[in-house]
Chains A and B, each alone.
Chain A
Amino acid sequence: MSDFETVIGLEVHIELQTESKMFCSCANRFGDPPNTNICPVCLGLPGALPRPNAAGIDAAIRMALALGCRVAKRSKFDRKNYFYPDLPKGYQISQLDEPIGADGQVEVPLGGSVRILRVQLEEDAGKLQHEAQGAVVDFNRAGVPLLEIVSAPDLRSPQEARAYWEEIRRIALALGISDARMEEGSVRADANISLRIAGSEELNPRVEIKNMNSFRFLERALAYETERQTGIYRQGGRVEQETRGWDDPRGVTFSQRSKEEAEDYRYFPEPDLLPFAIDPGHVEELRASLPELPARRRQRLVALGLQEEQVRLIAESGGRTAFFDGAMAAGGDPGEAAKWICGDLARLENDGRFDFGQPAFPAAELGELLGAVAKGELTGPGSKQVVQLLARRGGTVASAIAELGLGKIDDLEAVRAEVRQVLAEQPKAVADLAAGKQQVMGFLVGQVMRRTRGRVAPDVASRLITEEVGQ
């Protein structure tokens, strides 16, 4: 073989954020003490019968619509049989041949268009921890609704696979159907990867890498597999169809077991659940309720002239997008609003001191702030203090300016008096500046800011310092 092409398909699993589990009324809640949210249904006790959660079905329909899928008029559940201690019934309720959604497509940043084969509902398994005395099982997660989104093998590189997965996660967040927390395992992916001669249509034996919960792991594991399989073909060998695990510390995949075929799971229609109809009218209602999706958000932000990184940061969060839109509506300049959202406010958010989803002050106040700066009523440094105060206590820009005493000092002679005071207190810096050390200028401007609590525009301060020192 000469030049190879990587062929990757992804199965993304997303835990739905419902009140209750998929087939019983146990709470669907992460972080409770082990085996708190359990009942005869999710423990698979004899005689217990499942009943589907309407909200789980709706979430699946909404995801199917967001991915441009055809929504089935009739759907059903099937049993997927396998034996493992995290699966108390000995089978998982899943969907085989009548999934809720099929034949969709999603546009992935840098990755082009990826076909979606199916969107189906199933239930999550419990959690197994391996310990010295054996394995311990917590069934809180058993029966939590799990959405499985299966892509066609349309991805051509580990980077594309990652971009696709990230986009699916962003869509789930935009729809509000999942908290999509990677660190809690709410979003996981299985990847199928094979190689073929570039341009050919054949599909070679594929390796499945299961249960990854990090974008970085996925990208690294797929990069490793590409090299491993290339090496095998170059030496004239054959790639085994199998499941491999990813060992991140060692940076290698390792053989786990030969790949199951569907027959191994002895699928059959779930006898405890009847097929169900999906009312087209209801589907249209759900379609009408879809929020703006990330791809559309990005287009809109790009059209406003924002920088690529700003677009990415704002569009990936519904809260940030809404905040940005709110500031725009209040007359803010798009570029300036983006700077605040991706700068000071994003930093406050990272420190847990601001939440775009439940902001301490309305987005319109950011618009007000930008207006005040543009009109020269507030300096750059002063505006930072205002935002800090608003993030801490809420309120309005006007009240914060008054409270902080930040009205800009417009009287040039008053500013000059402040500058002279600073220069008198900093003879060494003045000498250095006079000797041509321009780097002390920042320090001196900072001193003026400190003295005036940011009420002087930095460029005015700088100009007056130059004038004063030059005299």
Chain B
Amino acid sequence: MAEQGIVARLAALARLELDAGEADTLERDLGAILEHVERLRALRLSDVDATYWTTQAAQGMRPDEHRPGLEVEDALSSAAARAGRFLLVPGMREDG
């Protein structure tokens, strides 16, 4: 089972508003996923290489052409705060 309240915490971090029903459903789903991962832990995999990709295909490339993307108003409509055309984030030390 997922830890009590973890969905609410994740939702807050992701700035998602969930009603009680959605939170319950997600908590159940997350619990089932974690249980499945727990079962996988029982497998002995020390001599198996990690699988990063499930296909042998090679990455296709894109020609170097540009086209319009998002309008700034659309892009910033989901921002928590903005300043003109900029996204506004809390201040921090310059060096990061």
Contacts and interface: CB of A to CB of B under 8 A. Distances in A.
Contacts of A274: 53, 55, 57-59
B87 A136 contact: yes
A20 B53 contact: no
A257 B66 CA distance: 38
Given A19-B65, A25-B62, A274-B55, A137 B95 contact: no
Nearest to B76: A35
Interface in A27-63: 27-28, 33-40, 42-43, 51-57
A135 B92 contact: yes
B62 A33 contact: no
Interface residues of A, number: 51
A134 B91 contact: yes
Contacts of A243: 95
Interface stretch (B24-32, B38-46, B78-86): B78-86
B66 A27 contact: yes
Contact of A136 (B57, B69, B83): B83
A198 B48 CA distance: 46
Contact of A35 (B55, B64, B72): B72
A256 B95 contact: yes
Given A274-B58, A276-B61, A245 B91 contact: no
A33 B85 contact: yes
Contact of A54 (B57, B62, B75, B76): B62
Contacts of A34: 72, 84-86
Given A39-B70, A256-B95, A275-B59, A139 B87 contact: yes
A133 interface: yes
Nearest to A256: B95
- Which residue among A19, A27, A274 has the maximum number of chain B CB atoms within 10 Å of its CB? A274
B36 interface: no
5 A-B pairs with least C-beta separation: A39-B69, A55-B64, A136-B86, A54-B61, A274-B59
